Structure formats: C-alpha cells, structure tokens
Amino acid sequence: MFFWAILELIEPRRHRISRLGFAPPGFCCSRVEQRSDVLEMERHQLAMETLGLSLADGKAILQGVQDFVTAQQVSEDLRRRRNCPNCGERYHRKEAGTHTVNSVFGPVPVPNPRWHRCSCQTDDPKTFRPTAAWLKGRSSPELRYLETKWGRRFRSRKWPIY
C-alpha cells in the first residue's frame, strides 16, 4: 500500500495538511482512491511558542493519519474476505458493528461486521465476524509493550511523599 500527504499554504500564516491519499498495490500513484483532510492550523505571529508544530498539532496529525490508514487497511481486508473461499458466493451482512482498538496514538474505531455464512459451510456457526482472524483484544501490541515497559520502570521506584 502507498500512502502520501500534502501540506499546503492557504494564506501567509495558515497551513493545512490537505490531502492524505491511499493507493492499493498495483494502482498507479498519480490516481488516488481516497482522500481526507487531516488538520488545518493558523499562526498569527511568529514566536518561539508558534514556531513549527506544537505537541497538540503533532497528536492531531498522527490521529488523523492513524484513522485514515486504519480505515483503508480494514476496508481492503473486508473486501478481500467478502466471498466464500469454497464456492465464491458473496457473504450477506447480518449487522454492522465497530470495535475500538487502543493504539499508541489513541483509540481507533475499527469496522467489525457480522456476516452470514453461505450454504456450503454447514459445519460452522451460521454467522461470523471476518475481522476475528486478526482482531485480538482491545490494545495494539505496541501499546501493550510500552505500557509494560513503563509500568516495570515506575513500579520499582519509590516516590517521595510530601
């Protein structure tokens, strides 16, 4: 997958990350399937406090990029799993749903639909969630690693009592 972003100058002190694009593998890079606005920021005067990006700006950019990339990845995966591997029949949707996954950049809503199995799959339950193949738990492995690492570090310290 190929992702890209464009930063544009709207007015002298106003910037916007205006286009965040996605192209699936084998797709020509000059044509973009999806676009999304991520952030618009305005700086009135140049000062040390307004130079570059603030922590809040950086977090907003990362959250916007995370939401966009996650949505593209999940929609591509669901598209690939939509047909039965045995007979090729398209699964019918029973219900839509979302699952919130906590990542290092914050919570990310992930589509988690439930589909009816086709008639050739008689031994399995009648419905299933296609994201169950990879959606394990509510936290990303990277977030669990960082929580464990920092938890271990702070657990052994003795904090002063005031």
Instruction: Please say which residue of 66, 81, 96 terminates a domain.
Output: 81
Q: Tell me the sheet residues that pair with 111.
A: 98
Residue 16 lies in a domain: yes
pLDDT in tens, the chain (162 residues): 444 555 555 555 555 555 555 555 555 444 445 666 666 666 677 778 777 778 887 888 788 888 878 888 888 889 888 998 888 889 988 888 888 989 888 888 888 899 998 888 888 888 988 888 888 888 888 999 998 888 777 665 655 555
Q: Are residues 72 and 94 in the same domain?
A: no
Please return the burial class of 111, using the count of CB atoms within 10 Å of its CB with bins 0-12, 13-18 and 19+: middle
Q: Which of 112, 70, 121, 71 is nearest to 91 (CA)?
A: 121
Q: Are residues 59 and 129 in the same domain?
A: no
Give the pair of three-digit tokens for residue 113.
């639909």
Q: Are residues 58 and 123 in the same domain?
A: no
Range of the domain at 134: 84-154
CA-to-CA dists, residue 59 to 26, 65, 104, 138, 140, angstroms = 31, 10, 11, 21, 18
